[in-house]
């Protein structure tokens, strides 16, 4: 993979991968998310993401919404606990228009007062909609249980009380304290020449003022396993079992990624899907997940079941965890699991929008980008003893927390 790299004097970096095809993708990824918020700022990173679409010095909201939509393209954004991304997918002839609008809404947004008031109501409705979805809400409640009292544990949307308190000044203060140009990546994938990409990158980002200040990100405190049951009066009982896990720079992350996929990943042949759903018929939805943050990670098992089957379902889950703690994977199963993971990764590389965002995040976090071959080599070097060691650490019964909606 031949990648183009470039860096401006203000610190913003570029990574571009030239491909064939009619569609091009580009975006900005900024190292700021909800975990950078102070208590009174809960929900602000996500609120700012919304407000970027509400007017700039030269564009009204309608012009922002329609400029790429009218060309069959898409302008989008998202906020995670650690990043904010603004990105677009367009026909390659509209690539400059996409770069222009991404730069404009990121660095020239005016945050009109009337739009702030309107967006408060919209986001409060988004929060209300989320509260009505227990299968999603329980994940936020579980992270709040694991990272109790810490910004990493708080949900991304915020609360209605916090949203109502935001002002234009508080938005500006948060941006000035957190959005560093030295922690910003412009990532691009498409059939655009290197010369054109550099020209447009210089044209639309050179004048962005240098900002190398970022508020200190607080590391999570010590983890204490705990269990909690909430009465939600749902038709189904929802359950999450999990533990803290490895941060994104930990060498054991690849082994944890493989182990999670064996247990409850996206494949229908995952152990939890086979045991809890296919063999026992106890759940429709069952999955495990592993999210790696900068300094910590979190591992979760989620399933929904009838209340009468809750204890039986938890017993099945614990049985599968016990097998992975006590029994070393055989060479055939480990080989198959590695091939499955490599297949998922290869498919992801064929999704150019996903690849664009992945390149940007990798450069932002690691200051380098591994090729698919290098990643596959790391997977191939995972040993059975390494998987067993990870399973005994992360799946230790004394370290697991449980959260239940009944």
The pTM assigned to this predicted structure is 0.94
Domains and their CATH numbers in the chain: 3-205 (3.30.830.10), 227-405 (3.30.830.10)
Say if residue 256 is exposed, middle or buried (CB neighbours under 10 Å; 0-12, 13-18, 19+).
buried
Give the pLDDT confidence of 56-108 residue by residue, as tens digits.
999 999 999 899 999 999 999 999 999 999 999 999 999 999 999 999 999 99
- In this predicted structure, the answer to whether residue 290 has a pLDDT above a threshold of 90 is yes
DSSP letters of 187-256? EEEES--HHHHHHHHHHHHTTSPP----PPPPPP------EEEE----SSEEEEEEEEE--TT-TTHHHH
Provide φ and ψ at 78, rounded to 5°.
Answer: -150, 160
Q: How many CB atoms lie within 10 A of CB 373?
A: 8
Task: Provide the pLDDT for residue 190.
Answer: 98
Q: What angle do CA 136, 292, 81 make, to 5 degrees?
A: 60
Give the pLDDT confidence of 298-346 residue by residue, as tens digits.
999 999 999 999 999 999 999 999 999 999 999 999 999 999 999 999 9
Question: Residues, the chain, total?
Answer: 406
Provide φ and ψ at 253, rounded to 5°.
Answer: -60, -40
Task: Provide the pLDDT for residue 221.
Answer: 78
Distance CA 270, CA 346 (A): 19
Distance CA 323, CA 35 (A): 35
Give the pLDDT confidence of 211-244 residue by residue, as tens digits.
987 777 878 778 999 999 999 888 899 999 999 9
Give the pLDDT confidence of 132-165 residue by residue, as tens digits.
999 999 999 999 999 998 999 999 999 999 999 9
Band of the pLDDT at 28, cuts 50, 70, 90? very high
Handedness of CA 321, 327, 328, 333 (dihedral sign): negative
HSE-CB of 193 using CA atoms within 13 angstroms = 3
Average pLDDT over residues 285-297: 95
Distance CA 13, CA 328 (A): 44
Band of the pLDDT at 362, cuts 50, 70, 90? very high
Residue 70, beta-bridge partner list: none
First to last CA, the chain: 50
69, two tokens: 């939509």
HSE-CB of 180 using CA atoms within 13 angstroms = 13
Residue with tokens 């408060």: 120
CA dihedral 137, 141, 143, 147 (to 10 degrees): 160
Which residues are marked as active site?
49
Let me know: does 401 contact 145? Beta carbons within 8 Å. yes
Let me know: does 71 contact 64? Beta carbons within 8 Å. no
150, two tokens: 């810490």
Give the pLDDT confidence of 159-193 residue by residue, as tens digits.
999 999 999 999 999 999 999 999 999 999 999 99
Provide φ and ψ at 405, rounded to 5°.
Answer: -100, 125
């Amino acid at each position: 993979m031949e990648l183009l790299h470039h860096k401006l004097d203000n610190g913003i970096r570029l990574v571009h991968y030239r491909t064939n095809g009619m569609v091009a993708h580009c975006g900005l990824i900024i190292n700021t998310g909800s975990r950078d918020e102070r208590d009174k700022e809960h929900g602000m990173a996500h609120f700012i993401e919304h407000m970027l679409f509400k007017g700039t010095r030269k564009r009204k909201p309608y012009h922002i919404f329609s400029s790429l939509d009218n060309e069959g393209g898409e302008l989008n954004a998202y906020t995670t606990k650690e990043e904010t991304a603004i990105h677009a997918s367009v026909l390659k002839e509209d690539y400059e228009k996409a770069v222009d609008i991404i730069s404009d809404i990121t660095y020239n947004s005016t945050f009109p007062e009337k739009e702030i008031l309107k967006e408060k109501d919209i986001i409060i409705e988004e929060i209300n909609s989320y509260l009505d979805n227990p299968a999603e809400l329980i994940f936020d409640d579980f992270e709040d249980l694991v990272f109790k009292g810490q910004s990493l544990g708080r949900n991304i949307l915020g609360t209605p009380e916090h949203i109502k308190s935001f002002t234009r000044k508080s938005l500006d203060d948060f941006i000035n304290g957190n959005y560093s140009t030295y922690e910003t990546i412009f990532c691009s994938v498409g059939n655009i020449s290197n010369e054109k990409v550099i020209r447009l990158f210089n044209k639309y980002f050179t004048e962005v003022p240098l900002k190398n200040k970022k508020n200190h990100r607080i590391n999570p405190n010590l983890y204490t396993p705990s269990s909690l049951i909430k009465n939600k009066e749902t038709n189904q009982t929802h359950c999450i079992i999990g533990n803290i896990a490895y941060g994104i720079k930990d060498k054991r992350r690849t082994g944890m990624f493989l182990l999670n996929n064996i247990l409850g990943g996206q494949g229908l042949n995952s152990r939890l899907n086979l045991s809890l759903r296919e063999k026992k018929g106890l759940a429709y939805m069952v999955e495990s997940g592993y999210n790696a943050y900068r300094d910590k990670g979190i591992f979760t098992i989620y399933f929904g079941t009838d209340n009468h089957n809750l204890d039986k379902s938890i017993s099945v889950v614990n049985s599968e965890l016990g097998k992975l703690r006590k029994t070393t994977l055989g060479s055939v199963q480990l080989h198959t699991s590695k091939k499955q993971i490599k297949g998922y990764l290869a498919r992801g590389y064929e999704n150019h929008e996903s690849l664009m965002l992945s390149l940007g995040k990798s450069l932002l976090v690691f200051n380098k980008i591994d090729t698919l071959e290098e990643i596959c080599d790391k997977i191939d070097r995972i040993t059975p003893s390494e998987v067993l060691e990870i399973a005994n650490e992360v799946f230790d019964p004394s370290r697991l927390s449980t959260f239940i909606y009944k």
